Amino acid sequence: MKNKNRAHVSELPLHEIQDSVNHIAPGIILDEPIWLSQFGTSHRLVPNYRYKNVFFIGDSAHIHNPAGGQGMNLGLQDVMNLVWKLELVIKGYSKDSILDTYHEERHFIASQVISATNKMMNLVTKQGFMIKRARRLLGKSVTSVESVKGFAANRLTGLKVNYRHSKHAINHYETALQKHALQAGDRVPNVYLFTGQESQASLYSIISKYSFTCFIYTTHSEDEKFVQAKKISEYIKEHFYEKVQTCFVLKNGVPTVEEDLAVLIDVRNELQRKCGLTEDSIIVLRQDGVVAFHQVNTDLEQCVEKLKFWIHPRS
């Protein structure tokens, strides 16, 4: 493990605590302590999140100081990243090699969090009159800016996390996509779609039911596009088991449910605005809310080849 610890003395003298109490609440006298201990922080990160059939998750994989309250979210995201991959491999749908993507995606994120929490702790604990004054002035000015508050909230909650650094995401980067469009490795926002069965359905409620969800997007409903979408849906269902659900998404129209193809409506135009979906684009989302790949055409062969990275096709 990489280790960066604060040195501790063997015993904590009572007078050190008394000095602090005198500064904060004069007149209170401490006496006869039952137990005293130092508090320090450790920054540790395992070199690899996987060792054969053993996987490191949460605090077993990474330890850092509590600045920013990052630890719980980081550990939960580890679990979300790993469990659905384990299911695919254990049930024989996927190669064992996809489990290596757990380390590749999550180790880098933990290293970033450890670096950020270390900087935050150093910033708030540095001493000196000028440093304290600058910290107060800077803190007030920066936290009053809405864009800065939004950025900080997204970073602290982990909503800005993406896996574009992974080998798989790099290999499936699509240069033809719009600049703001989601790429492989990006986290998808929770948009809402009209299903016809209810007023609206959240994207997360749809993708949580399947290992992968394939969305075929079009801005205009035409018979030939529906036929192509149904062809893709039937092929995927036949060759990739029930682990991939296909949905035909229209910008406008009436939602229907076919035997092999669900038709949804992007009634708020959110998939186009927030995710960058355009005419005839296909985006495949993982169960953990991450983009597996995003392509700008309905090329079935291209789509199938990309899916093969994750799931064994039926022979």
Q: Are 50 and 96 spatial neighbours (Cβ–Cβ below 8 Å)?
A: no
Same fold, 2-125 and 167-307: no
| Residue 13 per-residue DSSP state | -
- For 76, 78, 176, 225, 280, the CA distances from 276, given in Å and listed in that order, are 28, 27, 11, 19, 12
pLDDT value of position 2: 46
Q: Which amino acid is at 137?
A: L
Q: How many whole angstroms separate alpha carbon 170 and alpha carbon 309?
A: 13
Domain map (residue ranges) of the chain:
2-125, 167-307
Q: How many whole angstroms separate alpha carbon 63 and alpha carbon 46?
A: 9
pLDDT value of position 224: 86
H or E element that contains 201? strand 201-202
CATH number belonging to the domain at 2-125, selected among 3.50.50.60, 3.30.300.30, 3.20.20.120, 3.90.45.10: 3.50.50.60
Q: How many CB atoms lie within 10 A of CB 139?
A: 12
pLDDT value of position 45: 94
Please name every residue paired with 16 in a beta bridge, in sequence order, or none if there are none: none
Q: How many whole angstroms separate alpha carbon 18 and alpha carbon 108?
A: 42
10-residue mean pLDDT profile of the chain (315 residues): values are 51 86 91 82 90 95 78 90 96 95 96 84 69 67 64 72 95 94 96 80 93 92 84 90 90 65 88 93 96 95 94 83
Q: What is the dihedral of CA 270, 271, 275, 278, to 10 degrees?
A: -120
Handedness of CA 127, 129, 133, 134 (dihedral sign): negative
Write out the two tokens for 129: 């009159």
Determine phi and psi for 213, rounding to 5 degrees: -125, 125
Q: Which CATH architecture has domain 167-307?
A: 3-Layer(aba) Sandwich (3.40)
Q: Model's pTM, two decimal places?
A: 0.82
| Residue 261 per-residue DSSP state | -
Q: Are 114 and 90 spatial neighbours (Cβ–Cβ below 8 Å)?
A: no
Q: How many CB atoms lie within 10 A of CB 103?
A: 21
Please name every residue paired with 283 in a beta bridge, in sequence order, or none if there are none: 215, 294
